[in-house]
Amino acid sequence: MARVIDQLWEWIVVAVGLLVVLGGVLLGLVRGRGRRTKSAPTPTRGAGGSTDVLPGVGDDATPPRDAPKRSIEDAGSVDTLPAPSDEDLPPVQPTPTLDRPDAPAGRLQRLRARLARSNTALGHGLLTLLSRGKLDEAAWEEVEDTLIASDLGVEASTELVETLRSRVKIEGTTDEATVRGWLREDLLRLVDPTMDRTVVSSRVDGRPAVVLVVGVNGTGKTTTVGKLARVLVAEDKDVVLGAADTFRAAAADQLETWGARVGVPTIRSDRDGADPAAVAFDAVKAGAEMEADVVLIDTAGRLHNKVGLMDELGKVKRVIEKQSPIDEVLLVLDATTGQNGLRQAEVFAQVVDVTGIVLTKLDGTAKGGIVVSVQRKLGVPVKLVGLGEGPDDLAPFDPEAFVDALLA
């Protein structure tokens, strides 16, 4: 009996195991069917044999083959943003008109008549005296006085009179044409055409040339710098201006206006009374960064007998030289000041090593003899002359044209 019960329990265990296995198989089949039902449908082929594109995948990129083609005319009908109207566009800024400076060559010849009118005492006066039939001692003294009055200087006047007296005595003639020829030769020798009168205006050793412009109050330094910029622009030079006159009201504005007329940038301070040496330093630095040909630095006018102001000018020079050597120092002199201008020139030359002279106001009441006297006093040439208030009335000095104008 017990044995029958044991066999019965074995069959029950086996049956339960089979039920468990069968239940697991059925559960797996049900889950697999559910996953297949949720998956994306398989694409089907249409009547034309093409595969239908699934919605949302490339339906904009690939139109059906039988879709009508769009013509070029149809393309214009597609909705687009409206074209901006003239009112929507920003205002067009007018292009600034730059001046075209006159070429430097021939400027002095063009101004010869103006120079001749202002120097009749030296030219016509001398010729009138020398063409007299008889030249006695009193006449020669009058000739010498005329030369001295024209700012030629005592030494140069005495030298010229002695040379003329010797020629008249040797040749035995006072013919006006002959005397004019002698006077031209002697004046030209005194003016000295052998001096180098070029203004350094080209790059030196891969850096811009630096030109420092100095002088006393009222000689026209800022105007001279502006006019010199025009001369250099006419020679196709790239110029940068430095407004180191920081004490005179509106000096920087004046220089900037000169530069803007010919398209030249101006380096300046935003406040009056700034350190002029710092402005000059920044101008030279900016010129190097812009790869300019030349930097022109305007300085404040100062009286030659004011020690503090002259020391400040020396500081400007030293600060610039920390950035770059100074290639040219132009001293601007008012030609009407005569012998007083020579004293000014001496003091400036001691402080900043003047390399050239700019004579302004050589027209009007100026006397041409100052060209000779200032060159002798400093041993440096007159390089530029101003003969009027026009923007192009600054001319490179030409000794022969100058002497011819005196004797015109």
Return binding residues: 215-222, 298-302, 360-363
Cβ neighbour number for residue 189 with a 10 Å cutoff: 16
The residue to which tokens 């004579």 are assigned:
359
The residues, any chain, with a CB within 8 Å of residue 120's CB and separated by 6 or more, are none
Is there a contact between 359 and 119 (Cβ–Cβ < 8 Å)?
no
Q: What are phi and psi of 398, to 5 degrees?
A: -120, 110
The residue to which tokens 């039902």 are assigned:
37
Is there a contact between 229 and 262 (Cβ–Cβ < 8 Å)?
yes
Q: What are phi and psi of 161, to 5 degrees?
A: -65, -45
CA distance 404 to 123: 9
CA distance 303 to 293: 31
Is there a contact between 100 and 265 (Cβ–Cβ < 8 Å)?
no
Angstrom distances, CA of residue 101 to CA of 73, 223, 227, 352 = 55, 15, 9, 30
Angstrom distances, CA of residue 407 to CA of 11, 106, 121, 128, 141 = 152, 18, 10, 11, 20
> Dihedral of the CA atoms 173, 174, 175, 178 (nearest 10)?
80
Strands 394-396 and 382-386, how do they pair?
antiparallel
Q: Which residues are annotated as a binding site for GTP?
A: 215-222, 298-302, 360-363
Residue whose C-alpha is closest to residue 296's, from 221, 192, 401, 195: 221
Helix or strand run (H / E) with residue 358: strand 356-360
CA distance 208 to 200: 10
CA distance 281 to 287: 10
Dig out the tokens for 392 from the structure: 């192009």
Residue whose C-alpha is closest to residue 383's, from 354, 357, 351: 357
